[in-house]
Amino acid sequence: MPGGHPNGPVTHAPYRQEPYIRVQLDDGATVDAKVSAWTRTQVLAHWMDEDGKAWNVWVLAGAVKRIPRVESSWQDPYDILE
């Protein structure tokens, strides 16, 4: 269920190397975020808003598009860049 913890196995990306995504939220807003975790049907999106508040929201995988870091309007300053 969006917004809640999913059922089933959860996969995580390597620490500080999580992929960037563009997410369509239920209210119609679009945010750029990182993937913290995922299942077969859901993605845990993590981002910080303009006020510095951190968000972690489970969304349906169909609402997510992977994007390059350079295209993201929000970039995690702690990324490990190679």
Please tell me the chain's helix, strand, coil percentages from 3-state DSSP, rounded to the nearest 5.
5, 40, 50
Q: Where are the chain's structural domains?
A: 20-71
20-71 is classed in which CATH architecture?
Roll (2.30)
pTM of the model as a whole: 0.87
Average pLDDT, the chain: 90
Three-state SS for 62? helix
Q: What are the tens digits of pLDDT across the range 1-25?
A: 456 677 789 999 888 889 999 999 9
